[in-house]
Structure 1
């Protein structure tokens, strides 16, 4: 499966429109720790490897996710491989012993909303960079990406999103720290 995802800059008005229009699934707290491959520069290959710890309703879930290069020019669509973890600290230790280097940990509060079958919106408040809205769905093959992007973009535009962002939160934070805006 291919995850088709669009992200836009948001403000409190956009957050309120989503809260009024769609059903809240749950509120989550995320810690995303990104790792750099010892022999391949993910910033050049447009890949990512992270361990995500989600906390919600007194529970926690953890996943290791590999994200391949973006597949189109407009969205954040990419092939993802995700594996559930029982002990994220041990997996991080394995990666570090294999030569992977921890790059950055991003923390955010995420509210997830059901839009329609197969489509979910996330309202993100990301530490040090602000508010964003993400919308995603899954498609089986690359031929369906363009149609899915158009549909998702229409939903976000209807909610008032005017500025879209293809860069990941990691890329935004790395650029910010490179420019001395930390």
Structure 2
């Protein structure tokens, strides 16, 4: 599956515009634990491996996610493989046994909104970074990526987003704290 994703910096006005324009789905709390590979530097290969713990409406969900390198020069579109896990501690132990190590944990509060079938917008407040908005669509056909990126970009611009960001929250936090994957 290909995840087409665009992210922009947001403020209260952008948050308000989205809340007024789209249907609220739910609020989620995410704790994303990122891991480094024992034999290659994900910061150089533009990949990511994380365990996400997601809490919403009294529920708990955990996912192991691999994100491949970005596909285009505008968005954060990339191949994504996601697996539901039921025992976070066992998966962390497995990753450690294979030589992976934890790099950083990203904590965020996320409001999720329905735009149209297959398209969602999230309002993210990232601990240590501030407010962002993301729009996302899953795609199976790579030939549709360019047109979908343009369409999703227009939606965000119409909501007042002026500055876009291709870096992940992990990359932004690592820059802010002067960490490198090898540290």
Q: Same fold (TM over 0.5)?
A: yes
Structure 2 stretches lacking a partner, 5+ long: none
1:10 aligns with 2:46: no
Q: 2:95 matched to which residue of 1?
A: 95
Q: 1:77 matched to which residue of 2?
A: 77
Partners in 1 of 2:71 and 2:141 — Cα distance? 11
Partners in 2 of 1:165 and 1:107 — Cα distance? 18
Superposition CA RMSD, Å: 0.8
Q: 2:118 matched to which residue of 1?
A: 118
Q: 1:42 matched to which residue of 2?
A: 42
Q: 2:152 matched to which residue of 1?
A: 152
Partners in 2 of 1:87 and 1:130 — Cα distance? 30
Q: 1:65 matched to which residue of 2?
A: 65
Structure 1 stretches lacking a partner, 5+ long: none
Partners in 2 of 1:45 and 1:156 — Cα distance? 28
Residue aligned with 2:161, SS: coil
Q: How many residues align?
A: 179
Partners in 2 of 1:54 and 1:105 — Cα distance? 13
Superposition TM-score, scaled by structure 1 size: 0.97
Q: Any idea what the Cα deviations from partners look like across 1:8-44, whole Å, max 9, x if unmatched?
A: 0000110011111111110000000000000010000
Q: Any idea what the Cα deviations from partners look like across 1:86-135, whole Å, max 9, x if unmatched?
A: 01111011101111010000000000000011110010000000000000
Residue aligned with 1:83, SS: strand
Partners in 2 of 1:140 and 1:48 — Cα distance? 20
Partners in 1 of 2:20 and 2:134 — Cα distance? 17
Partners in 2 of 1:150 and 1:177 — Cα distance? 33
Q: 1:162 matched to which residue of 2?
A: 162
Where does structure 1 differ by over 4 angstroms across 4 or more consecutive aligned residues?
Answer: none
Partners in 2 of 1:127 and 1:22 — Cα distance? 25
Q: 1:127 matched to which residue of 2?
A: 127
